[in-house]
């Protein structure tokens, strides 16, 4: 589209580069995360899963097929096997050779450069993954209050309760695409352990934002893929926009 969009100035809203800047580079690769940083995203969003030999890797699907030249489940492959794969070519030839990053590699490269919104994917496949994430953060002192911009989120609410117990100083978020998760009762329950309720953009309106804010939680909406999707979310009053295109304003949060 050639239309230009005039966004209302906002220094309140965090811009989150979804799977890195997934509109511009192969999702969940170092190249995509670097794009997010270059575009001054306040956070990069990463999807964390676990290999057969218990290592944490950054990939969205539970299978390798869509984003790499491998096949089968992440959980059925060792780190060594997964590191051989090409995670860039599916997106464009110029990204050939991009690898599936490890969780620790992403932490070490990007901590301090941008916030990291850590999603724990499909935790039912990975018993104990919460403990492993905790250890990786603690080893780096990334769990200390106000030390770094870190949020841990998941569609798996029990995992987030566990994270809140393991790392009470790190904010956690619940993800949902279901309106039934946004009843007053459910929001009250989330407020007992979560700092964020992060719904699909289709569920966001100003009354939901108010309900979440009344319970002292923040709200980040996903996933923006078109420019015209931004302003309604700003109007509704969200705290963050999770987007494949982090160069679409909202204006980045003021320093």
Q: Is 18 among the catalytic positions?
A: yes
Q: Does 221 bind ligand G3P (CB under 6 A)?
A: no
Considering the complex, what minimum distance in angstroms separates the CB of residue 27 from ligand G3P? 9
Q: Does 45 bind ligand G3P (CB under 6 A)?
A: yes
State the Cα–Cα distance between residues 235 and 7, nearest whole angstrom. Answer: 10
Considering the complex, what minimum distance in angstroms separates the CB of residue 16 from ligand G3P? 7
Among 13, 15, 18, 159, binds ligand G3P (CB under 6 A): 18
State the Cα–Cα distance between residues 228 and 47, nearest whole angstrom. Answer: 26
The answer to whether the beta carbons of residues 223 and 243 sit under 8 Å apart is: yes
Which of the listed partners (Ca ion, ligand G3P, none) does 30 bind, with a CB threshold of 5 to 8 Å by partner kind?
none
Q: Does 47 bind Ca ion (CB under 5 A)?
A: yes
Which of the listed partners (ligand G3P, Ca ion, none) does 223 bind, with a CB threshold of 5 to 8 Å by partner kind?
ligand G3P
Which of the listed partners (Ca ion, ligand G3P, none) does 242 bind, with a CB threshold of 5 to 8 Å by partner kind?
ligand G3P
Q: Is 60 among the catalytic positions?
A: yes
Q: Does 119 bind Ca ion (CB under 5 A)?
A: yes
The answer to whether the beta carbons of residues 200 and 177 sit under 8 Å apart is: yes
- Closest listed residue to residue 204, CA positions, set 238, 253, 227, 160: 238
Considering the complex, what minimum distance in angstroms separates the CB of residue 60 from ligand G3P? 6
Nearer to ligand G3P, 62 or 144 (CB): 62
Q: Does 116 bind ligand G3P (CB under 6 A)?
A: no
Of the candidates 18, 77, 143, 213, the residue annotated as catalytic is 18
Please state, in angstroms and as integers, the Cα–Cα distance from residue 119 to each residue in 69, 155, 198, 203, 235, following that order.
23, 8, 11, 19, 26
The answer to whether the beta carbons of residues 94 and 31 sit under 8 Å apart is: no
Among 98, 119, 195, 211, binds ligand G3P (CB under 6 A): 119
Which residues are catalytic, by number?
Answer: 18, 60
Instruction: Tell me which residues touch Ca ion (CB under 5 A).
Output: 47, 119
């Amino acid at each position: 589209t050639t239309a230009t969009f005039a966004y209302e100035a906002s220094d309140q809203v965090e811009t989150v580069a979804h799977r890195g800047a997934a509109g511009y580079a192969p999702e969940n690769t170092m190249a995509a995360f670097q794009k997010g940083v270059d575009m001054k995203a306040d956070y990069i969003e990463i999807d964390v899963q676990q290999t057969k030999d218990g290592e944490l890797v950054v990939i969205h699907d539970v299978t390798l097929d869509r984003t790499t030249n491998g096949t089968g489940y992440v959980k059925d492959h060792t780190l060594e096997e997964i590191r051989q794969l090409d995670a860039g070519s599916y997106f464009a030839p110029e990204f050939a050779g991009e690898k599936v990053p490890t969780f620790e590699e992403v932490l070490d490269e990007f901590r301090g450069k941008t916030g990291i919104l850590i999603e724990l994917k499909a935790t039912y496949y990975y018993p104990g993954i919460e403990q492993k994430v905790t250890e990786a953060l603690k080893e780096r002192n990334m769990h200390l209050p106000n030390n770094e911009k870190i949020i841990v989120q998941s569609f798996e609410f029990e995992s987030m309760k566990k994270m809140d117990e393991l790392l009470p100083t790190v904010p956690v978020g619940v993800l949902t695409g279901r309106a039934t998760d946004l009843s007053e009762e459910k929001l009250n329950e989330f407020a007992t352990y979560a700092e964020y309720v992060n719904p699909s953009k289709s569920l966001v309106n100003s009354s939901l934002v108010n309900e979440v804010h009344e319970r002292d939680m923040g709200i980040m909406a996903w996933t923006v893929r078109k420019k015209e999707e931004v302003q309604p979310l700003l109007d509704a009053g969200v705290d963050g926009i999770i987007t494949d295109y982090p160069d679409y304003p909202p204006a980045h949060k003021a320093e």
